[in-house]
Amino acid sequence: MKSQVAMSSQNQGVLTTLRVLHRIHRQIRDLQDRLAQGPRQIRAKEIALREAQEKLARLQEESKRLQITIDEKQLTLKSREENVLKRRAQLMEAKSNREYQLLLDQIRADEVANSTLADEILEDMERLDQLKQQIAAAKEEVQKANQELEHTRQQVAATEPKLRAEMDGLIRERAEEEGKLPTDFRELYDRVVRAKAEDALAPVDGQYCGGCHQQVPLNSINGMLRGEAVLCRACGRLLYLPESYTIPK
């Protein structure tokens, strides 16, 4: 069976202040996270844009190198085809069957090599067409990434002042509430807040610390009812009793 805890108005005031302070600390932490999220989002979009730009640059460089290769192969093919024509003309001037056969064998070998080179050029040109399509798509990706970056920057710029104004209001409210704590209580509170920041406070849940979920001795709970400052022995948080707290029997 559980019974309602009774306590003095002074002790009730301290507990109310601690509850409010815990709420404020959590809200400040949430705002800090939201403020930090903006720059993180911008950095993520900047990275995405840089990666898209690097991808585009790689494709453009590959296309440039491939075009040079195609041009060189086409020049080589043209030179070889001219050599074939020259040797065909030499066939008519061959002075012996042996010379004729040597020229004919050379022509056939050149034509095979030219055919292979022509096939390579066709394959390279097909790859070049693919690269052009990929480059067009990559340019769209860069444009999209740049637009998303600018949109994110605008969103962050629009929301950040509101968040900072809300933060300033909470900081003022926190200072007002902290001023309500008794001197000895305030000293311990300040020390714990310096060490644990928003994790400095925790409510008692039944007979357990709401922060680390370790058991809180009954004499510690009684100490809180007497208005004493009590730290969790396990995690070091400053404990407080929630509103309408009842002691487990």
Token pair 């009774």: residue? 6
Check pLDDT > 70 for residue 2. no
Specify the pLDDT at position 237.
96
Q: Are 202 and 232 in contact (CB under 8 A)?
A: yes
Beta bridge partners of 238: 201, 231
Residues 34 and 163: their CA atoms lie apart, in Å, by 8
- What confidence tier does 7 reach under pLDDT thresholds 50, 70, 90? low
Number of domains in the chain: 1
Specify the pLDDT at position 12.
79
Check pLDDT > 60 for residue 5. no
Q: Are 247 and 1 in contact (CB under 8 A)?
A: no
Residue 202 belongs to a domain: no
Residue 249 belongs to a domain: no
Specify the pLDDT at position 249.
62
Tens of pLDDT along 45-92? 999 999 999 999 999 999 999 999 999 999 999 999 999 999 999 988
Residue 217 belongs to a domain: no
Residues 70 and 48: their CA atoms lie apart, in Å, by 33
Specify the pLDDT at position 244.
75
- What confidence tier does 8 reach under pLDDT thresholds 50, 70, 90? low
Q: Tell how strand 3-4 and strand 246-247 pair up.
A: antiparallel
Residue 164 belongs to a domain: yes
Specify the pLDDT at position 117.
96
Tens of pLDDT along 17-55? 999 999 999 999 999 999 999 999 999 999 999 999 999
Specify the pLDDT at position 61.
98
Q: Are 225 and 244 in contact (CB under 8 A)?
A: no
CB atoms within 10 A of CB 164: 12
Residue 209 belongs to a domain: no
Residue 98 belongs to a domain: yes
| C-alpha distances in Å from residue 208, one per residue of 4, 113, 204, 225 | 17, 86, 6, 15
Which strand ranges, in their side-by-side order, compose the sheet holding 238-240?
A: 208-209, 201-205, 238-240
The domain that holds 71 is classified in CATH as 1.10.287
Tens of pLDDT along 201-246? 999 998 999 999 999 999 999 999 888 899 999 999 999 999 877 7
Residue 212 belongs to a domain: no
Tens of pLDDT along 148-206? 999 999 999 999 999 999 999 999 999 999 999 998 899 999 999 999 988 999 999 98
Contacts for 15 with CB less than 8 Å, ≥ 6 apart: 7, 224, 240, 241
Quote the domain boundaries for residue 151.
32-178
CA 122 to chain centre: 43
Closest Cα partner for 24 from 211, 212, 200? 200
Residue 26 belongs to a domain: no
Specify the pLDDT at position 246.
73
Q: What token pair was written down for 102?
A: 């040597």
CA 240 to chain centre: 38
3-state secondary structure of 171: helix
Closest Cα partner for 73 from 33, 113, 15, 44? 113
**Between the CA atoms of 200, 189, 220 and 228, what dihedral angle is there, to the nearest 10 degrees?**
-160
Specify the pLDDT at position 9.
61
CA 80 to chain centre: 56
